[in-house]
Amino acid sequence: MPTVSVKRDLLFQALGRTYTDEEFDELCFEFGLELDEITSEKQIISKEQGNVKAEGASDVVLYKVDVPANRYDLLCLEGLARGLQVFKERIKAPVYKRVMPKGEIQKLIITEETAKVRPFAVAAVLRNIKFTKDRYDSFIELQEKLHQNICRKRALVAIGTHDLDTLSGPFTFTAKRPSDIKFKPLNKTKEYTACELMNIYKTDNHLKHYLHIIENKPLYPVIYDSNGVVLSMPPIINGNHSKITVNTRNIFIECTGTDFTKAKIVLDIIVTMFSEYCENQFTVEAAEVVSPNGKSSTFPELAYRKEMVRADLINKKVGIRESPANLAKLLTRMCLKSEVIGDGNQIEVEIPPTRADVIHACDIVEDAAIAYGYNNIQMTLPKTYTIANQFPLNKLTELLRLDMAAAGFTEALTFALCSQEDIADKLGLDISETKAVHISNPKTAEFQVARTTLLPGLLKTIAANRKMPLPLKLFEISDIVVKDSSKDVGAKNYRHLCAVYYNKNPGFEIIHGLLDRIMQLLDVPPSEEKGGYVIKASTGSAFFPGRCAEIFARGQSIGKLGVLHPDVITKFELTMPCSSLEINIEPFL
Amino acid sequence: MSACLFRDTYLHPLLKVRSQFRQIFLEMGFTEMPMDNFIENSWNVDGLFQPQQHPACDQHDAFFLKDPAEALQLPMDYVQRVKWTHSQGSYGSQGYKYTWKLEEARKNLLRTHSTAASARTLYSLAQKKPFTPAKYFSIDRVFRNETLDATHLAEFHQIEGVIASHGLTLGHLMGVLREFFTKLGITQLLFKPAYNPYTQPSMEVFSYHQSLKKWVEVGSSEVFRPEMLLPMGLPKNVSVIAWGLSLERPTMIKYGINNIRELVGNKVNTQMVYDSPVCSLDIEPRSPQTQEAA
C-alpha cells in the first residue's frame, strides 16, 4: 500500500478545518484510507539515526496515510484534500480542462530511434503556476510516488518536469549512442557523457536501481530542445539546465515509457493535481506530440468518460434500497459526478481523468457503497442451501492425526521449503534422484527446493529439542512435492505420514508397531493378498544396512521404515539412534 | 503425592486451531476445496484479473520455480478470453489496456494466496451446467518471498471461504462474516474499504480487541470482479463473495505467542506443544499482555 506523508497542519488548512487524531482516523477509515502513523521529521531521524542526528530537525507533525494502490489521485496532499472535501460535500469536484495556448503550441517530436528502447511519450504544459516551498516539495514527491507505484520503478513510465522559460521548443525525443550524449545532469557542475554517468550513478543509492532499464541497450533515450539543450535522459536523470525551482512559472512535463496507457494516466494525474496552482485554475495547456510516422496527437487527454448504470443494479449488488437521486448524490461525493436520466432508473456517471481506476460498473457500485458507509449496510444471510463435504484426503488426515497422538506421538509442523542438502546429501542421495522442484529465486539456502520427504523436517525438529527428555516421538502428516509431467503445472503434492523415534535405543520395534497400528486403523490386513500389506526387507541410503524394509499395500510401494544410518544422524546434528517410518497415505482413500 | 508428567500424545496448536476452523466451516455448510498443489502458475494469477506488472504484484513477492519453470498445459480458450479482458477490455470492462504476455503467464510459482486454488474450483464449477450455488472453504499453506521477521515467515496458512450464488450482495457478505466470527467469539465487527486487483468491492474486517483496547484487523473480504468470473464461464447473474484470514494470527493470539518461529517450523519448542490447552476458539485468549501481531 503506498504511503503518503503530509504535514498535518497544511492538510487541515486545505480541508478548511481541524480534526483530532481520532476524528481524522475515523474519516480515513470511512473513506478507505488508513492513518498509519503520526510522526515528525525529528522522530523519523531519531528512530533511524539516533537522537543526536535528530537535533534541529523539524518538529512539524506529519500524518502518514496509507492509500489504496490503484488510487493515483490520492498520492499527494492536493489530491487527498480534494478527495476528502468532495467526499464531505464541502466542494464540488473541479472540472479539468485542456486549453490551447495563445501563441504557438509546444511540440515534442519522437524519432524512430526510440522505438526499440522507449517508444512512447506524452507531454503537457502547466502555465503561470505559483509554487511555495511546500507545493514544490509536494510536486517532486508526487513524481517519486508515481515512479514507485504505477510506473513500476520507472520501467514503464518516467516523468520529467522542466522550467519551460529556460528552454525553447520544438523538443525532440530520440535515442542515441551513449557516447554521443553529453550534458550537465541535475545538481552536477560539469558535463558528462552518458557512459560516464552510468558509472557515476552506480554508487548513487537512489539512481542505481534504474540503470538496468537502459544500461545494455545500444541507444539511450534523450530529449533535446531546439538549441540542443538536454532536457533529460529518461528514465535516469534530468538535465540541470531546465531544473525547476520554487520560482518556476511555466512547466513543461514529458512522460516517456514502454506502456502508452500508463504514460497517459500518469500525465493526467500530475496535471490535474497541480493545475490547482495555475493562474487559470484547473486548466492545462495542450502540447502536441508527433510520432515517427508523422501523426500528431494532442495531450493531456483529460478524458471524461460516461457510463450508464441502473440504480436497481447498485441497490441489488450492495444490499440497500436508495432512490436513484440519492445514489447519484452518493457517487458525486466520490468524484463521480452523476445524475438521474431517462426513465428515472438510469444513472449517468461521469468518470473524470483522475479516476482511471474505474474500469467497470462494479467499481461504481463500490464507490456508492463507500459513500453510503459500509457499516450502515444491513447484514443479511444468503438464501443458499448447501450440504457440506470434507475433502476426503483431509478427512483421512484428521482421523489419523488423532490416532497417531493416541499412539503416543507428538505432532510437529515443519517447513515445506528446505535446502537441497536436506533432502539429498544428508540422506545419502544425489539431488537429481529426488525429482524435486527447484526454486529460482531463493533468498537463502533454506528455500532452495520443496521437500520431497517429511523426514528432514522432523529430524531438524529433534535437533532443536535435544534437551527434552527421551524418547522423542514425533510425527507429521503433511504434503510433499515432486515433479510430475502429467499435471498441468508439472508438479504434484502427495500426502505423507512420517514418524520418528529418537532414543538411546533405535526402537525399530516401536516404529514397526506403529505401522501395524496405522494399517489396522486403515483396515488393511497384513497379507500378501489384494487389499493387504506386506513388509519386505530392502535397502535405502538413509537407512542402516539390514535394518530397512519397504512397505507394499494396495498394489504399490507406499514407503519405507527402518533404523536411520549413523551418517544421517550425524549430518542432522543428532547424537542418539533413530528409527523412522514414512508412507504415502493417498492410496488409502 | 506428586503427579506423573504426560509427555507424548500431543497435537500441534496451529493444527488444533485448523481443526476448529474446519469444524466451523462444516457447521455452516461449506465444502472443502482440493488444495493439494503448492505449485501454481502465474496464469492462475492473471485469470484472477490481476494485471501483469501491477504495483499490487509487489504485495505478494513470489517464489518462482527454476524446475519445472513453466506450465506444461494451459486451457487455451480460457486463456484467450482472459487475454482479451486484460488487454482490450470486455464483459463490460475497459480492461487494463496493456500488452498481455503469454510467457509471463506460463511461469510457475509457489502459490502466494489460496485464491488461486479457489479460482480452479470456481472454474470447475463453471463448467458444470446448469449452475448450482456452492459454498467452499480451504485452509492450507501459501508461500511469500518476503523479508522475515517476528510475525512473518516464508510459509503460512490461509483460511478462505467462498460462496457462489445468484444475487449475492455486500450485505450478505457482511452477514456471513458476522456468523463466522460469532463462532470465534468475536461479535463486534467494523468493515473498511480496501483495494485488491481482482475484487470489487473489497473490505478489511476489524474487530475490537478487549485487552489491547483497539480495533485490529481480523481478515479481509471481497466480491470477485466480473472480469474474473465471466471468462471462466460463470453465468452473468452469479456473484461470488469470499473472505480470508491467516491461521497463524488467531493461533498466536489464542496461545499468547509473540514470535511466529515459536509456533511453526523446526525450531518449535516441543514443550510449547505439550503446554497448549484445548482449543475452543470462542474462549477468550490466554494472555492479556500479548504483543499485537502486525
List the CATH number of the domain containing A103.
3.50.40.10
pLDDT of B8 over the 70 cut: no
Bridge partners (DSSP) of residue B235 are: none
How buried is residue A561: exposed, middle or buried, by Cβ count under 10 Å (0-12/13-18/19+)? buried
Residue A137 lies in a domain: yes
Beta-carbon contacts of A328 under 8 Å, excluding residues fewer than 6 positions away, are A338, A339, A340, A347
A326: domain CATH number is 3.30.56.10
Identify whether residues A293 and A355 lie together within a single domain: no
Nearest by CB to B34, from A391, A412, A439: name it. A391
Mean pLDDT throughout B256-283?
72
Both A124 and A260 in a single domain? yes
Chain B CB contacts of A412 below 8 Å: 12, 266, 268, 270, 273
pLDDT confidence of residue B59: 43
Q: Count CA within 13 A, CB hemisphere, residue A532.
A: 8
Same domain, yes or no, for A68 and A103?
A: no
Which residues, 6 or more positions from A142, have their beta carbon under 8 angstroms from its beta carbon? A75, A76, A269, A270, A273, A274
Do A442 and A408 fall within a single domain?
Answer: yes
- The answer, for A303 touching chain B at a CB cutoff of 8 Å, is no
Same domain, residue pair A338 and A462: no
Residues whose CB falls within 8 Å of the CB of residue A511, separated by 6 or more in sequence, listed in order: A499, A501, A561, A562, A579, A580, A581
The answer to whether residues A250 and A332 belong to one domain is: no
pLDDT recorded at residue B98 = 73
Same-domain check for residues A400 and A358: no
pLDDT score, position B3: 67
Q: pLDDT per residue over B20-65, tens digit each?
A: 999 999 999 999 999 888 888 776 666 666 666 655 454 457 888 8
What are the pLDDT digits (tens) for B137-194? 999 999 988 777 777 788 999 999 999 999 899 999 999 999 998 888 888 899 988 8
A95 and chain B in contact, CB less than 8 A: no
B265–A413: do the CB atoms touch at under 8 Å?
yes
Interior/surface letters B169-199, b for 16+ CB within 10 angstroms, e for the rest: bbbbbbbbbbebbebbebeebbbbbbbbbbb
Per the model's pLDDT, the better-predicted residue between B273 and A283 turns out to be: A283
The answer to whether residues A33 and A74 touch, using CB atoms and an 8 Å cutoff, is: yes
In a domain, A435, yes or no: yes
Parallel, antiparallel, or unpaired: how do β-strands A237-238 and A230-233 relate? antiparallel
Are A238 and A330 within one domain?
Answer: no
Q: Given an 8 Å threshold on Cβ–Cβ distance, is A377 in contact with B170?
A: yes
Segments forming the whole domain that contains residue A414? 392-588
* Domain end position, chosen among A254, A279, A299: A299
Q: What is the pLDDT of residue B293?
A: 34
| Paired sense of beta strands B31-32 and B134-143, if any | parallel
The pLDDT of residue B289: 34
Residues of B whose CB is below 8 A from A375: 190-191
Residue B276 has pLDDT above 90, yes or no: no
If asked whether residues A428 and A463 sit together in one domain, one would say yes
Of the residues A340, A370, A400, which one is the last residue of a structural domain?
A: A370
Query: Using the beta-carbon criterion (under 8 Å), do A489 and B98 form an inter-chain contact?
Result: no
Q: Mark the ranges of chain A whose per-residue pLDDT is less than 50.
A: none
A379 at interface of B, judged by CB pairs closer than 8 A? yes
CATH number at residue A493: 3.30.930.10
Residues in chain A with CB shorter than 8 Å from the CB of B171 are 318-320, 377-380
Instruction: For residue B241, give how far its alpha carbon lies from the nearest alpha carbon of chain A (Å).
Output: 11
Residue A437 is assigned to a structural domain of this protein? yes
Confidence of residue B2 (pLDDT cuts 50, 70, 90): low
Q: How confident is the model at residue B279 (pLDDT cuts 50, 70, 90)?
A: low
175-214 in chain B: CB under 8 A from chain A: 175-176, 178-179, 190-195, 197, 200-203
The strand pairing partners of A411, in sequence order, are: A475
Q: Is residue A341 part of a domain?
A: yes
Are residues A337 and A286 part of one domain? no
* Predicted pLDDT at B52: 65
* pLDDT given at position B44: 66
Which residues of chain B make contact with A481, given a CB cutoff of 8 A?
Answer: 38-39
Q: Per the structure, how many domains does chain A have?
A: 4
B47 vs B198: CA distance, rounded Å: 9
CB contact under 8 A, A415 and B155: yes
- Within a domain: A383: no
The domain boundary residue, chosen from A59, A88, A117:
A88
Interface test with B, best of A489, A497, A573 (most B CBs within 10 A): A489
Maximum alpha-carbon separation in chain B = 79
Give the strand order in the sheet containing A417-418. A417-418, A449-450, A438-439, B65-67
For residues B8-22, average pLDDT: 88
Identify the burial level of A371 via C-beta atoms within 10 angstroms of its C-beta, where 0-12 means exposed, 13-18 middle and 19 or more buried. buried
A35 domain-assigned = yes
For A229, the grid coordinates are 539543450
Lowest mean pLDDT among A203-217, A500-514, B91-105, B118-132: B91-105
Q: Could you tell me if B264 and B233 are in contact, meaning their C-beta atoms sit under 8 angstroms apart? A: no
A381 domain-assigned: no
| Residue A375 resides in a domain | no
Please indicate, yes or no, whether residues A288 and A190 belong to a single structural domain of this protein.
yes
pLDDT the model gives residue A121: 95
Residue B277 has pLDDT above 70, yes or no: no
- Specify whether A191 is located in the same domain as A321: no
